[in-house]
């Protein structure tokens, strides 16, 4: 059999490779050239030993050059075909799940729950656990057991949201007006010594720039055999400095709350433009004091053995001072232009 010229084989096949329509056509061509039994190039190689040494060497070199050129042509054509196939895919199926898309903007906590988490962290470092109670409370937990007398203004329908009437104060239900009833629940179910905070929502019939019918407080309670007013001041000052600012300005003054004796109020100084604070330069943020012996007794704790302090912070007010927010209603408007700043 005449040995096919390398040049001829390359010249014949190169245009056919270039013209192949798809992978299957390329496979067939490859078989025709390199097939083990009857491939044109395979046969040419097989015939080499029949030649005399000089001619064999020359022919082998030529065949190798042709083989290389053909292999390169196949590889190049396969690349072009697969790129075209991808291009076609992009036309017929536009969804490319392997594409790296820009990250979706994620939301974040509203500044009130975010602040409550900070409160829990700061107080847990001082040994306080966090607990919660229901927002619908009995009149007795919200008022009576806290030593709040029946004639107290907070019991008035003008000031509180009553949910259910009844004969007994244990049956009458109210949206809790403060987080203080959680003190009662906690003291009735725990043995001193303990330290706890109770964050949550409270409800009052109030609405203006510094009052909302729903707002947040966190209550604190520490009871033991040797808990003093000095301990209370240390805890409050540490909390205010850590939560608001190490330089925060505040003042303690006496105040009256039926469930503590003595009672104190802590005001914080409005930071920034005073004309922007509707309440003037001092804003009351917390009431506190030594737990009244009647309250301890109401919860089965002997006031001769134990004493303790309690406090109730207004969360919105603290955040207002921290971020110089003049109107508390901005917290609940849900305006992203406000919320995204924090």
CB of 260 to ligand DAH, least distance (A): 4
Q: Looking at beta carbons only, is 10 or 174 nearer to ligand DAH?
A: 174
Stretch that binds ligand DAH, among 193-201, 237-245, 287-295, 315-323 (CB under 6 A): 287-295
Q: Looking at beta carbons only, is 288 or 319 nearer to ligand DAH?
A: 288
CB of 311 to ligand DAH, least distance (A): 5
CB of 263 to ligand DAH, least distance (A): 6
Q: Which of 10, 111, 260, 315 binds ligand DAH (CB under 6 A)?
A: 260
Closest listed residue to residue 123, CA positions, set 240, 281, 282, 275: 240
Cα–Cα distance measured from residue 213 to residue 159, given in angstroms and rounded to the nearest whole number:
10
Counts for the chain of helices (H) and strands (E), in that order? 12, 10
Cα–Cα distance measured from residue 194 to residue 222, given in angstroms and rounded to the nearest whole number:
6
Are 246 and 272 in contact, with CB atoms under 8 Å apart? no
Other beta carbons within 10 Å of 26: 18
Stretch that binds ligand DAH, among 1-9, 58-66, 222-230, 283-291 (CB under 6 A): 283-291
CB of 109 to ligand DAH, least distance (A): 24
3-state SS, one letter per residue, for 61-104: HHHHHHHHHHHHHHHHHHHHHHHHHHHHHHHHCCCCCCCCCCCC
What x-and-dash track marks residues 171-210 binding ligand DAH by CB under 6 A? -------x-x------------------------------
CB of 342 to ligand DAH, least distance (A): 25
Q: Which of 30, 137, 139, 219 binds ligand DAH (CB under 6 A)?
A: 219
45 CA to centre of own chain: 71
Give the N- to C-terminal CA distance of the chain in Å, as an integer: 87
**Does 288 engage in binding with ligand DAH (CB under 6 A)?**
yes
What is the widest separation between alpha-carbon atoms in the chain? 127
Closest listed residue to residue 314, CA positions, set 202, 217, 204, 200: 217
Cα–Cα distance measured from residue 297 to residue 306, given in angstroms and rounded to the nearest whole number:
10
| Number of amino acids touching ligand DAH (CB under 6 A) | 11
Q: Looking at beta carbons only, is 200 or 312 nearer to ligand DAH?
A: 312
Q: How far is CA 56 from each of CA 2, 33, 47, 48, 61, rounded to the nearest angstrom?
A: 14, 20, 9, 6, 9
**Does 312 engage in binding with ligand DAH (CB under 6 A)?**
yes
Could you say which residues in the range 119-178 bind ligand DAH, by CB under 6 A? 178
CB of 159 to ligand DAH, least distance (A): 11
Q: Which of 236, 310, 319, 328 binds ligand DAH (CB under 6 A)?
A: 310
Given the rule CB under 6 A, which residues bind ligand DAH?
178, 180, 219, 257, 260, 287-289, 310-312
């Amino acid at each position: 059999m005449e040995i096919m010229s390398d040049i001829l084989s390359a010249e014949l096949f190169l245009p056919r490779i270039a013209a192949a329509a798809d992978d299957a056509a390329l496979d067939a061509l490859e078989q025709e050239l390199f097939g083990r039994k009857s491939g044109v190039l395979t046969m040419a190689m097989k015939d080499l030993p029949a030649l005399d040494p000089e001619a064999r060497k020359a022919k082998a070199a030529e065949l190798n050059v042709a083989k290389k050129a053909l292999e390169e042509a196949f590889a190049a054509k396969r690349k072009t075909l697969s790129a075209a196939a991808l291009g076609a895919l992009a036309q017929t199926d536009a969804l490319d799940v392997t594409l790296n898309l820009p990250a979706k903007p994620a939301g974040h906590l509203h500044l009130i729950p975010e602040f409550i988490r900070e409160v829990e962290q700061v107080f847990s470092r001082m040994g306080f656990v966090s607990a919660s109670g229901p927002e619908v409370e009995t009149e007795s937990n919200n008022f009576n057991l806290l030593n709040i007398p029946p004639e107290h203004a907070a019991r008035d329908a003008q000031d509180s949201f009553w949910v259910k009437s009844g004969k007994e104060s244990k049956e009458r239900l109210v949206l809790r007006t403060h987080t203080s009833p959680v003190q009662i629940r906690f003291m009735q179910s725990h043995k001193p010594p303990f330290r706890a905070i109770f964050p949550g929502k409270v409800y009052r019939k109030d609405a203006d720039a510094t009052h909302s019918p729903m707002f947040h407080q966190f209550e604190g309670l520490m009871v033991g055999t040797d808990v003093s007013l000095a301990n209370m001041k240390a805890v409050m000052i540490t909390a205010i400095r850590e939560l608001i600012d190490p330089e925060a300005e505040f003042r303690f003054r006496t105040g009256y709350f039926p469930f503590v004796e003595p009672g104190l109020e802590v005001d914080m100084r409005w930071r920034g433009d005073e004309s922007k604070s509707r309440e003037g330069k001092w804003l009351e943020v917390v009431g506190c004091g030594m737990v009244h012996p009647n309250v301890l007794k109401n919860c089965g704790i002997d006031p001769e053995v134990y004493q303790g302090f309690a406090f109730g912070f207004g969360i919105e007010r603290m955040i207002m001072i921290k971020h110089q927010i003049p109107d508390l209603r901005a917290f609940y408007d849900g305006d992203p232009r406000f919320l995204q700043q924090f």
